[in-house]
Amino acid sequence: MKEKFIQFMQGRYGVDTLNNHALFLVIALFVINIFFNNRIVMLFGYLIWFIVIYRMFSRQTYKRYQENEKYLTAIKPVQQFFNLQKKRMSDRSHKYYRCPSCKQMVRLPKGKGKIIVTCPSCHHKFEKRT
Protein backbone atom coordinates (compact mmCIF):
# COMPACT_ATOMS: atom_id res chain seq x y z
CA MET A 1 0.00 0.00 0.00
CA LYS A 2 2.76 2.43 1.00
CA GLU A 3 4.81 1.52 -2.06
CA LYS A 4 1.82 2.08 -4.30
CA PHE A 5 1.34 5.51 -2.79
CA ILE A 6 5.00 6.42 -3.32
CA GLN A 7 4.74 5.22 -6.90
CA PHE A 8 1.59 7.28 -7.37
CA MET A 9 3.23 10.41 -5.97
CA GLN A 10 6.32 10.04 -8.14
CA GLY A 11 6.72 13.06 -10.40
CA ARG A 12 3.88 14.83 -8.67
CA TYR A 13 4.26 18.11 -6.93
CA GLY A 14 3.25 17.52 -3.30
CA VAL A 15 3.06 20.04 -0.49
CA ASP A 16 4.57 23.52 -0.39
CA THR A 17 4.06 26.72 1.59
CA LEU A 18 1.25 27.93 -0.65
CA ASN A 19 -0.63 24.64 -0.22
CA ASN A 20 -0.04 24.64 3.53
CA HIS A 21 -1.36 28.17 3.93
CA ALA A 22 -4.30 27.52 1.62
CA LEU A 23 -5.22 24.41 3.59
CA PHE A 24 -5.00 26.39 6.80
CA LEU A 25 -7.32 28.99 5.27
CA VAL A 26 -9.78 26.25 4.29
CA ILE A 27 -9.84 24.90 7.84
CA ALA A 28 -10.25 28.42 9.23
CA LEU A 29 -13.12 29.10 6.80
CA PHE A 30 -14.89 25.89 7.78
CA VAL A 31 -14.46 26.56 11.49
CA ILE A 32 -15.77 30.12 11.13
CA ASN A 33 -18.59 28.82 9.01
CA ILE A 34 -19.80 26.58 11.85
CA PHE A 35 -21.22 29.80 13.32
CA PHE A 36 -22.44 31.46 10.14
CA ASN A 37 -23.42 28.47 8.04
CA ASN A 38 -23.02 30.49 4.87
CA ARG A 39 -23.25 28.52 1.63
CA ILE A 40 -20.96 30.84 -0.34
CA VAL A 41 -18.22 30.62 2.30
CA MET A 42 -18.61 26.83 2.23
CA LEU A 43 -18.34 26.76 -1.55
CA PHE A 44 -15.32 29.05 -1.45
CA GLY A 45 -13.67 26.72 1.06
CA TYR A 46 -14.28 23.68 -1.12
CA LEU A 47 -12.96 25.55 -4.14
CA ILE A 48 -9.66 26.33 -2.37
CA TRP A 49 -9.51 22.75 -1.12
CA PHE A 50 -9.94 21.52 -4.67
CA ILE A 51 -7.13 23.80 -5.88
CA VAL A 52 -4.85 22.52 -3.08
CA ILE A 53 -5.51 18.89 -4.06
CA TYR A 54 -5.05 19.72 -7.73
CA ARG A 55 -1.70 21.38 -7.00
CA MET A 56 -0.55 18.48 -4.82
CA PHE A 57 -1.12 15.87 -7.51
CA SER A 58 -0.06 18.05 -10.41
CA ARG A 59 2.70 16.74 -12.65
CA GLN A 60 3.62 20.23 -13.85
CA THR A 61 6.02 20.67 -10.96
CA TYR A 62 7.81 23.64 -12.49
CA LYS A 63 4.60 25.63 -12.88
CA ARG A 64 3.57 24.80 -9.30
CA TYR A 65 7.05 25.74 -8.09
CA GLN A 66 6.75 29.12 -9.79
CA GLU A 67 3.33 29.72 -8.21
CA ASN A 68 4.80 29.00 -4.82
CA GLU A 69 7.74 31.33 -5.46
CA LYS A 70 5.34 34.11 -6.46
CA TYR A 71 3.35 33.53 -3.32
CA LEU A 72 6.47 33.59 -1.14
CA THR A 73 7.55 36.89 -2.71
CA ALA A 74 4.09 38.33 -2.12
CA ILE A 75 3.97 37.42 1.58
CA LYS A 76 7.60 38.31 2.31
CA PRO A 77 6.80 41.78 3.75
CA VAL A 78 4.15 40.22 6.00
CA GLN A 79 6.58 37.57 7.24
CA GLN A 80 9.28 40.18 7.81
CA PHE A 81 6.83 42.24 9.82
CA PHE A 82 5.95 39.30 12.06
CA ASN A 83 9.60 38.30 12.45
CA LEU A 84 10.40 41.84 13.54
CA GLN A 85 7.55 41.83 16.08
CA LYS A 86 8.76 38.49 17.42
CA LYS A 87 12.29 39.85 17.83
CA ARG A 88 11.00 42.99 19.53
CA MET A 89 8.94 40.90 21.95
CA SER A 90 11.73 38.48 22.85
CA ASP A 91 14.59 40.98 23.10
CA ARG A 92 13.76 43.70 25.63
CA SER A 93 17.27 45.15 25.86
CA HIS A 94 17.57 46.15 22.20
CA LYS A 95 15.62 48.12 19.65
CA TYR A 96 15.28 47.03 16.05
CA TYR A 97 15.18 49.44 13.17
CA ARG A 98 15.40 49.20 9.45
CA CYS A 99 17.96 51.26 7.59
CA PRO A 100 15.96 53.88 5.64
CA SER A 101 18.29 53.55 2.69
CA CYS A 102 18.80 49.78 2.18
CA LYS A 103 16.20 48.25 4.56
CA GLN A 104 18.86 46.27 6.41
CA MET A 105 17.82 45.45 9.99
CA VAL A 106 19.96 47.10 12.66
CA ARG A 107 19.91 46.25 16.35
CA LEU A 108 20.56 49.06 18.83
CA PRO A 109 21.04 48.89 22.60
CA LYS A 110 18.15 50.46 24.49
CA GLY A 111 18.41 53.51 26.72
CA LYS A 112 21.34 55.29 25.07
CA GLY A 113 19.34 58.39 24.12
CA LYS A 114 19.65 59.94 20.69
CA ILE A 115 22.40 58.31 18.66
CA ILE A 116 23.74 58.45 15.13
CA VAL A 117 23.49 55.02 13.58
CA THR A 118 25.75 53.90 10.78
CA CYS A 119 24.19 51.13 8.73
CA PRO A 120 26.52 48.09 8.73
CA SER A 121 25.65 47.20 5.18
CA CYS A 122 25.47 50.50 3.22
CA HIS A 123 27.11 52.92 5.74
CA HIS A 124 24.19 55.31 5.51
CA LYS A 125 23.96 57.45 8.67
CA PHE A 126 20.66 58.17 10.40
CA GLU A 127 19.52 59.39 13.80
CA LYS A 128 17.49 57.25 16.22
CA ARG A 129 16.32 57.54 19.79
CA THR A 130 16.93 54.35 21.77
Q: Which residues bind Zn ion (CB under 5 A)?
A: 99, 101-102, 104, 119, 121-122, 124
Distance CA(121)–CA(62), nearest Å, equals 34
- 93: nearest Cα among 107, 81, 83, 114: 107
Which is nearer to Zn ion, 26 or 119 (by Cβ)?
Answer: 119
Query: Minimum distance between the CB of residue 93 and Zn ion, rounded to whole angstroms?
Result: 23
Which is nearer to Zn ion, 79 or 121 (by Cβ)?
Answer: 121
Which is nearer to Zn ion, 77 or 111 (by Cβ)?
Answer: 77
Give the DSSP letter of residue 130.
Answer: -
Query: Minimum distance between the CB of residue 82 and Zn ion, rounded to whole angstroms?
Result: 22
Specify whether the CB–CB gap between 66 and 58 falls below 8 A. no
